[in-house]
Every structure is written in C-alpha cells, then in structure tokens.
C-alpha cells in the first residue's frame, strides 16, 4: 500500500507521523517556502507539472491512494488530485480542517472583494494576513497595512504604505492582541483558513474591537470524500490497507 500525501500543513505532518512507518507514505510539498517544516518519512518537493504530470507520477510510482491534506485555499492542487484520481480510479480523500465561525466578520469571496470592503468601510490601519500571494489586491487601497507573511511578497504587489512582518505561526492570543494594539489596527483581513495555529488573531480582534474581513474558502471539487480530522484520515488509510 503506497499513499501519496499532499501536504504543506500541520495536519499533513501529523498524518504522516500517524501512519509512518506502518504505511508507505510519500509526502509532497509545493516547495514554496525555503525552509519548510518537514514531515517524517519520504518527501518529494515541487509541482508535478499539472494534471498530466500528476497522472504520470501516480502511475509510475504505483500509488494506491491519495490523501489531500493541503491548505483549504490551495484549490489548484486539490482540483488536480480530484480529477486525476477519478480518471485513474485511485481512492482519494480530502482532509479539510473545519472552517472558523465567521461571527460578526464581513465575509467576502476573494482578495479583491476584501480590498473593496476595506476601502468601502474606510479602514485606515489594516492587519493583512492573507499571505504573500494575497497582497496584490490591496496595492491601490488608500490605507496603512501591517502585512504578515511567511516569505516576502513580490515588492511589485505591495501597497505603498506598509510594514512587512515575516513570521510563521503558531501565534498566541496575548501576542496577537499586543500586535493589534501596538499598531492601532482597525481591521484584520484573513482567509478562513481554520485550525488552531492562527485562530488567536480572531479572538484578539474581537477583544480589541477590531473589524474582521474574512475571505471565504473556495469550494471543494464536487463529489470528493472529505474528513475533518487527522484521526479520521488515518482511519481511512488504515482501512484501505486492511482491505
Ligand atoms: P495551489 O494554488 O493549489 O497550487 C499551485 C500549484 O503548486 C499546483 O498546481 C502544483 O503544481 C503545486 N503544488 C501545490 N501544492 C503542492 C503539493 N503539496 N505538492 C506538489 N505540488 C504542489 O497551491 P498554493 O495555494 O500555491 O499552496 C501551495 C502549498 O502551500 C500547498 O501545498 C498548501 O498546502 C501550502 N499552503 C498554502 C496556503 C495558502 O493559503 N494557499 C497556506 C499554507 C500552506 P503542479 O501543477 O506543477 O503540480
């Protein structure tokens, strides 16, 4: 039984740890960050080369099942895996951590809509946490931005008035509250990533009376089998192994 585990998340690392070495798991990372947290067991790094590349790779490696534990906003790789597994008849599972409750947040469908919401509401000091690829939509918005990302965004995509904060979670409530207060933030922009590692910013925003603009998740491909926890995903793989 050989499993391809599409990763780049804490859940994927936890799943690799839960399965290795009883199950042969190859973890796959996109290779976006220079010094990624690595899962236990074999790891491959870099894109497959689209749908065709992934199909060839799965066949050449003799993969028996695919678990997609990528980030909820990594929609392209998720669509590719769903398509290729359907075509090849390879069992396929998506591990999608539960979304956050949106509470009183302004919920929008894209980074562009988030930027429009910031402009429309006249927020002036914005904590932007949508990642290195999420800055371009805010480039021409008239506000000051505290931009937090793991790796530096392309300078061409940055709003003029900003401060860049390079860091990687997890974050805690006290630190997030201090950050909001120290920078006199009036709005937080976030993806609905879900998970505990970056959730304290939402509680801190609520305490500090900071508005939240939340980008909703892209939909999953239709018909995919999903679970929400690492334990359920490990159980699914083990059941396949037993079968
Ligand atoms: P994406 O838009 O869905 O994927 C773009 C391309 O990157 C894919 O077509 C694929 O290239 C390659 N790719 C993505 N994930 C891969 C993986 N696990 N293994 C091999 N190739 C992969 O993905 P993204 O939003 O750029 O995210 C990239 C990775 O970072 C994901 O694996 C995700 O779990 C992680 N991540 C993303 C976010 C986020 O907010 N998007 C946040 C935290 C972590 P080919 O077409 O060449 O195969």
Atom number, ligand 1, closest to the C-alpha of residue 49: 47
Supply the pLDDT for residue 66. Answer: 98
The pLDDT tens digits of the residues spanning 18-63 come to 999 999 999 999 999 888 999 999 999 999 999 999 999 999 999 9
Cα of 48 to ligand 1 centre, how many Å? 10
Whole-number pLDDT of residue 226: 98
State the pLDDT at residue 142: 98
What confidence score (pLDDT) does residue 34 get? 86
The pTM score is 0.96
- Predicted confidence (pLDDT) at residue 98 exceeds the cutoff of 90: yes
CA 7 to ligand 1: nearest atom: 18
* Tens of pLDDT, residues 100-118: 999 999 999 999 999 999 9
In this structure, the residue with its CA closest to atom 14 of ligand 1 is 30
Q: What was the pLDDT predicted at 182?
A: 98
Q: What does R_g of the chain's alpha carbons equal in angstroms?
A: 19
Residue 30, ligand 1, Cβ within 6 A:
yes
Q: What is the mean pLDDT of the chain?
A: 97
CA of 241 to the centre of ligand 1 (A): 27
- Mean per-residue pLDDT, 200-208: 98
- Tell how far the Cα of 3 is from the centroid of ligand 1, in angstroms: 18
Closest atom of ligand 1 to CA, residue 6: 18
The pLDDT assigned to 231 comes to 98
Interhelix angle 75-88/50-61, rounded to 10 degrees, is: 50
Those residues with Cβ within 8 angstroms of residue 84's Cβ, 6 or more apart along the chain or in another chain: 51, 54, 55, 58, 90
What is the structure's pLDDT at 45?
A: 98
Evaluate: CB of 6 within 6 angstroms of ligand 1.
yes
Q: Which of 113, 98, 115, 100 is nearest to 205 (CA)?
A: 100
Which one of 72, 77, 133, 190 would you pick to mutate in the ligand 1 pocket, going by the greatest count of ligand atoms within 8 A of its CB? 77
Task: Kindly report, residue by residue over 121-156, the tens digit of the pLDDT.
Answer: 999 999 999 999 999 999 999 999 999 999 999 999
Residue 175 pLDDT exceeds 80 = yes
**Confidence (pLDDT) at 196:** 93
- How far is the centre of ligand 1, averaged over its atoms, from the C-alpha of 30 (Å)? 5
Whether the pLDDT of residue 242 is over 90: the answer is no
Ligand 1 atom nearest 8 alpha carbon: 34
Q: Is 50 in the pocket of ligand 1 (CB under 6 A)?
A: yes
Containing H/E element for 211? strand 211-215
Alpha helices of 20-152 — where are they, by DSSP H?
50-61, 75-88, 111-121
């Amino acid at each position: 039984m050989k499993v391809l585990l599409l990763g780049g998340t804490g859940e994927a690392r936890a799943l690799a740890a839960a399965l290795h070495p009883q199950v042969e798991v190859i973890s796959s990372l996109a290779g976006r960050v220079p010094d990624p947290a690595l899962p236990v067991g074999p790891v491959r790094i870099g894109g497959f080369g689209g749908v065709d590349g992934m199909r060839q790779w799965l066949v050449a490696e003799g993969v028996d099942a695919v678990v997609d534990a990528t980030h909820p906003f990594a929609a392209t790789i998720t669509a590719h895996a769903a398509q290729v597994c359907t075509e090849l008849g390879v069992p396929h599972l998506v591990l999608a951590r539960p979304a956050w409750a949106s509470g009183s947040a302004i919920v929008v469908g894209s980074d562009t809509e988030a930027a429009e919401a910031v402009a429309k509401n006249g927020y002036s000091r914005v904590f932007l946490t949508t990642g290195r690829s999420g800055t371009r939509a805010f480039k021409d918005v008239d506000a000051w931005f505290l931009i937090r990302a793991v790796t530096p965004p392309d300078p061409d995509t940055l709003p003029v008035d900003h401060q860049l904060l390079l860091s990687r979670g997890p974050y805690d409530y006290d630190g997030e509250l201090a950050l909001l207060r120290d920078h006199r933030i009036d709005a937080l922009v976030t993806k609905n990533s879900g998970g505990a590692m970056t959730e304290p910013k939402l509680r801190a925003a609520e305490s500090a009376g900071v508005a939240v603009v939340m980008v909703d998740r892209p939909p999953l491909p239709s018909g995919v089998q999903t679970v929400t926890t690492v334990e359920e995903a490990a159980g699914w793989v083990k059941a396949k192994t037993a079968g």
